[in-house]
Structure 1
Amino acid sequence: MATEIKKIGVLTSGGDAPGMNAAVRAVVRASIYYGIDVFGIYKGYDGLINGNMEQLYVRSVSNILSRGGTFLLSARSKEFRTKEGRAKAYENFKANGLDALVVIGGDGSFTGADIFSQEFDVPVIGIPGTIDNDLSGTDFTIGYDTACNTAREAIDKIRDTASSHERLFFVEVMGRDAGFIALNSAIGGGAVAMIVPEHNWSIDALISRLKKGAANQKASNVVIVAEGCHLGSSYDIAEKVKEHIPHYDIRVSVLGHLQRGGSPTTLDRVLASRMGVAAVEGLREGQSKVMVGVINNKISYTPIGEAIKTIKRLDDDEFRIAKILSI
């Protein structure tokens, strides 16, 4: 049976991701379409604790579809991790007459949302906004496609200079403990190899791959390194390779936070829009403590606890393809 929801609060939390604004826009406009008031909560859970929120209208979210970042701002709230902080947040939640909460963020944000919902029996739905793509229960998270495209564009430019000077470049991409950006940007950018947290690749195996490329007269080599890989940073790996192949002209490029910025791709805008509408419709249908996802192009709802605890695996077939194409 549908639950009557009259007023929804929406916030963005944790690391920003391209497409968060599109998700907020969808939540706001879907809420208004269904006759529900919607309040934007600024600076994530800190805004909920401090009562930093205001009602949003159709025009409040005009012209934000193409903007990166989040106009609601984001933060990682230390106070919300305490029972006292969550109690204060609940006081403001009730004081503003909110009936439900939509949280746009990653696993840390969802962990907080899950605890908050359990402690105070608050209807909560999560929308996965993180470039890492590391949440199960959805094929893609909001911001991931844009981050992959940003990384690939940078790799294309780096390859130009690598080819001109016959250099070996190590390009470090984000992703924390997940190698999704590394794997897909490696295939899209034509890398000779990628080093990700999920696979225990050795320096010896990397050296062998590079020597094989040299034997095939490769004019340039680009190796993609995920920031959380077991071999260390891209600088650490470059030094180890230099010890084995001292004649290589080696350079390192750390792409860093530029992967979080920029206008979201069409895929991320559509994904965020679908998920935003689904979050509002899910709340109206009585859904709670779940994350909205898209699996095989269909909307799905996964318990938040399952989404953050289940390890999302890289596609082994994409590894196979990357190896074939790296010769």
Structure 2
Amino acid sequence: MSELKRIGVLTSGGDSPGMNACIRAVVKAGIGKGIQVFGIEDGYKGMIEDRIRELTYTDVNNIIHLGGTILGTARSEEFKLKEWREKAVANLRKLQIEALILIGGDGTFAGGMTLTNEFDIPIIGIPGTIDNDIHGTEFTIGYDTCLNTVVEAVDKIRDTASSHHRVFFIEVMGRASGYIALNTAIASGAESVLIPETVTDIPLLADQIRNQNKGIRSSIIIVAEGDEEGGAKEIMKKVKPYLETYDLKCSILGHIQRGGSPSAFDRILATRMGVKAVELLFEGKKSMMIGQIGRDLVFHNILEGTTDHVSKDDSGIGLLKLLLTKG
């Protein structure tokens, strides 16, 4: 596809720090190859509503350090219906947009594959999600920033927990994946972690807290929102009958995890992936997802990012158990 002249870029699903750095890289790399780059506002919703505009150097100047996404993001129920997808594609063709770069998660990629299958539109997927739950890459854009934000918050909660000898149950994001929770627990020295990939045993958890805390130490329990026993509030209520004399508290970190200036790691990752996405389209590649394994960028069929599931981190779980205070 060396004659490629116009491409579109969108962000979809949950926002993640580093998306702007990726948009910037796509625009600059595209212009550098003589390609016009069009930004699609609010993902597939904006594609349907014809909210598409050309992006220039000026549009992406001084955005590499900004969290969120300048294009906006939204989920679209209408896009699930073919009649609305036809309208979206008509808007693309009106502007002679020939290919798309999609920044988001598995839902974003699935939507793009539908466009490819139905209308033969070439797509390249870039994994942008704080959950780090996309198969085929060790890192997704936004995960590193999110993890650092959460660890900083847990460190501050630890200060007050230590002062008052309290047990804190801290809820973090992760409905289907426990990567944020697990690695937060390791990095913050938490006493336990509850994640969707493992079965939670409430009596055993209470015993662990009792043996570690002894009523004089602080305890931090990290809870992924998708744990089968519930979020932090529910877990705390279930543990309370076993620890009636303990001072139990709950903190839900919420959407603070999505915001903030992206880390250096996420800026570099997003920039490398954005440039490579343009290069792949320019080379005539399509239906691919970019990932990073070790220090190297890798490329997979995008279906792997939509159908395959990330396996649980047994080594991380084992490491946390090894470090559990037992005396």
Q: What TM-score does the superposition give when structure 1 sets the normalisation length?
A: 0.97
Q: Please name the residue that 1:117 is paired with.
A: 116
- CA distance in structure 2 between the aligned counterparts of 1:176 and 1:61, rounded to whole angstroms: 32
- CA distance in structure 2 between the aligned counterparts of 1:195 and 1:134, rounded to whole angstroms: 17
Q: Please name the residue that 1:164 is paired with.
A: 163
- CA distance in structure 2 between the aligned counterparts of 1:205 and 1:140, rounded to whole angstroms: 32
1:76-95, aligned counterparts within 5 Å? 76-95=75-94
Q: Please name the residue that 2:175 is paired with.
A: 176
RMSD of the TM alignment (CA)?
A: 1.1
Amino acid paired to 1:220: S
Secondary structure, counterpart of 2:190 in structure 1: coil
Deviations 1:117-163 (A, max 9, x none): 11100000111110011100111100111111111011000000101
1:111-260, aligned counterparts within 5 Å? 111-215=110-214, 219-260=217-258
Secondary structure, counterpart of 1:97 in structure 2: coil
Deviations 1:201-250 (A, max 9, x none): 211221121122034x7610000000001111211110111111100101
Question: Share of identical aligned residues, percent?
Answer: 50
Q: Please name the residue that 2:29 is paired with.
A: 30
Amino acid paired to 2:166: R
Amino acid paired to 2:184: S
Q: Please name the residue that 1:97 is paired with.
A: 96
Please report how far the alpha carbon of residue 102 of structure 1 lies from its aligned counterpart in structure 2 after TM superposition: 0.6
Please report how far the alpha carbon of residue 288 of structure 1 lies from its aligned counterpart in structure 2 after TM superposition: 1.0
The number of residues matched between the two structures is 325
> Structure 1 unaligned runs (5+)?
none
Q: Please name the residue that 2:64 is paired with.
A: 65
Return structure 1 stretches of 4+ with deviation > 6 angstroms: none
Amino acid paired to 1:162: A
1:271-286, aligned counterparts within 5 Å? 271-286=269-284
- CA distance in structure 1 between the aligned counterparts of 2:11 and 2:212, rounded to whole angstroms: 45
Q: Please name the residue that 1:303 is paired with.
A: 301
> Structure 2 unaligned runs (5+)?
none
- CA distance in structure 1 between the aligned counterparts of 2:193 and 2:3, rounded to whole angstroms: 50
- CA distance in structure 2 between the aligned counterparts of 1:208 and 1:117, rounded to whole angstroms: 53
- CA distance in structure 2 between the aligned counterparts of 1:212 and 1:324, rounded to whole angstroms: 15
Secondary structure, counterpart of 1:54 in structure 2: strand
Please report how far the alpha carbon of residue 34 of structure 1 lies from its aligned counterpart in structure 2 after TM superposition: 1.0
Secondary structure, counterpart of 1:191 in structure 2: coil
Please report how far the alpha carbon of residue 317 of structure 1 lies from its aligned counterpart in structure 2 after TM superposition: 1.3
Q: Please name the residue that 2:106 is paired with.
A: 107
Please report how far the alpha carbon of residue 59 of structure 1 lies from its aligned counterpart in structure 2 after TM superposition: 1.8
